[in-house]
Amino acid sequence: MNLNSKNISLISGPLAFIAVLFFFNPESLNPRANAILASTIWIAIWWITEAIPIAVTALLPIILFPLTGGLGLTETTASFGHKYVFLYIGGFIIAIAIEKWNLHKRIALNIINLIGTNIVNIILGFMIATAFMSMWISNTATAVMMLPIAIAIVAQLRDNPNTIEDENLNFGKALMLAIAYSASIGGVATLIGTPPNLVLAGVVEETFGYEITFAKWFQFGFPISIILLFICWKYLTSIAFKFKQKTFPGGREEIYKQLNALGKISYEEKLVSGVFAFTAFAWISRSYLLESIIPGIDDTIIAMIGAIIIFLLPTKNRERKILKWDEAVKLPWGILLLFGGGMALAAGFKDSGLALWIGNQMTLLDGISLILLVFILIASVNFLTEITSNLATTAMLLPILYPMSMTIDVHPFILMVSATVAASCAFMLPVATPPNAIVFGSGYLRIPDMVRVGIWMNLISIILLTLFVFFLLPYLWDFDPMIFVVPE
């Protein structure tokens, strides 16, 4: 973005805010709701254009909501301490410990080694390893960790005299895209896998007082990840790229070399893997098992227990702990602020009556086929997040989709979940997701390569997500998609 467009973006936010606040006053819109609407438009413009860092923009509700009378300061700032903020903090502290002791690299290399080392299987191994890790740690960290392993493998193919001409170039492109795509796909599987999932859970709780548990999301998100990952692998290895060479000269040796460099599993890795396994099991089994034993247990409490245990466990020499606070402060504070901003918007929409007013304006959507609406919504969010932050996009849209559900008399989960999963499936451009940007930086890909392959992945994901949300989500979460009901 050049300087002029940056200045235009900076000015257009406040100007739109003033125009709506002072000159847009329909009789049906009360002053509090009008104040929230004006503030939201300013925030949305700065989020979409990234006039300033999007995490900083997320702080605007703390200034604008109280000063305009839209929402009180106490209610606004309370959103930044939402329980899902602490769920993410707990999960990320465990992820930092996993990265510190190289447990993620050991898991990834063993998965790749297990799957096999011919050309097609090694891509599958990388995809499964990347997707599994991104279910639990950030997709950015996963992609950063997988990239050097992938580059070393590609170098083995390039440097071997038995390699067919240009085969290493095709393999390099396919492997880089496989890492980027599977990092995004894996994040869909769990509630903590990607920030938009937690924003959805937070907005739903803020709006309805309904909890989307880790287990509830997992039973919906995990099948999507498995199926989309398999389709992506077949597409990359059978359609997008053709491999004449089936065997991989030196591939297994390179994996063994990297595994040997890690050495035997350390005492610290065993402790961290124990905490990781305990936390994951507790999240998944909470609804079925833990709540009957410990009434009041919650996904956030489980995350906090896991995080605090990490700080309590000593290393083998007992001179220090598994994780120190100065290492834990690497938390992605910007994402946490974005969560808070999204929750504040949801609270403002609900408390001021803006949600109800927006719902009443959407009469044009009444009567449209629901599956067509889901398809259009998923496609729109999918392509919008190619150029905007998926977290900021979901934070903007989710408070609006609830009143839209009221107008057309459909269950709010249908529209809100549609937007959430679509935001994690942008595959075309380097700016779409951090994993896309990371693999683009490897030098193996050009933008035309990413667009040519990614546009088909976008279309595949749009169709798959539409079918899953329309047919499977109501069955798994037990609701009627054609009836508007506030979840209880």
- pLDDT tens track for 392-410: 888 888 888 888 888 888 8
| Residue 231 belongs to a domain | yes
Give every CB contact of residue 301 below 8 A, 6+ residues apart in sequence.
Answer: none
When the pLDDT of each residue in the chain is averaged and rounded to a whole number, the result is 87
| Residue 56 belongs to a domain | no
| Residue 131 belongs to a domain | yes
Instruction: Report residue 164's pLDDT band, with 50, 70 and 90 as the boundaries.
Output: low
| Residue 25 belongs to a domain | no
Give every CB contact of residue 325 below 8 A, 6+ residues apart in sequence.
Answer: 311
Amino acid letter, 426: A
Would the pLDDT of 1 be above 50? Answer: no
Percent of the chain with pLDDT over 70: 93
Alpha-carbon gap, residue 23 to 104, rounded angstroms? 55
Would the pLDDT of 310 be above 90? Answer: yes
- Total domains in the chain come to 1
What is the rounded average pLDDT of the residues 357-380? 82
In sequence order, the β-bridge partners of residue 321 are 314
64: nearest Cα among 52, 55, 77, 51: 77
Q: Summarize pLDDT for 78-98 with one digit per residue, the tens.
A: 989 988 889 889 988 988 898
Alpha-carbon gap, residue 382 to 427, rounded angstroms? 9
Enter the pTM of the model.
0.84
| Residue 263 belongs to a domain | yes
- Domain ranges, residue 251: 83-328
In sequence order, what DSSP letters do the residues of 377-411 get, joined into one string? HHHHHHHHTTTS-HHHHHHHHHHHHHHHHHHHT--
Top mean pLDDT of 53-62, 152-161, 251-260, 392-401 is at 53-62
416: nearest Cα among 231, 253, 206: 206
| Residue 486 belongs to a domain | no
| Residue 345 belongs to a domain | no
| Residue 116 belongs to a domain | yes
Alpha-carbon gap, residue 483 to 44, rounded angstroms? 30
Give every CB contact of residue 385 below 8 A, 6+ residues apart in sequence.
Answer: 393, 422, 423, 426, 432
**Residues 341/59, Cβ–Cβ less than 8 Å:** yes
Would the pLDDT of 67 be above 60? Answer: yes
195 backbone dihedrals φ, ψ, rounded to 5°: -55, -40
Alpha-carbon gap, residue 119 to 90, rounded angstroms? 38
Least confident of 169-178, 220-229, 306-315: 169-178
Would the pLDDT of 223 be above 60? Answer: yes
Alpha-carbon gap, residue 344 to 356, rounded angstroms? 17
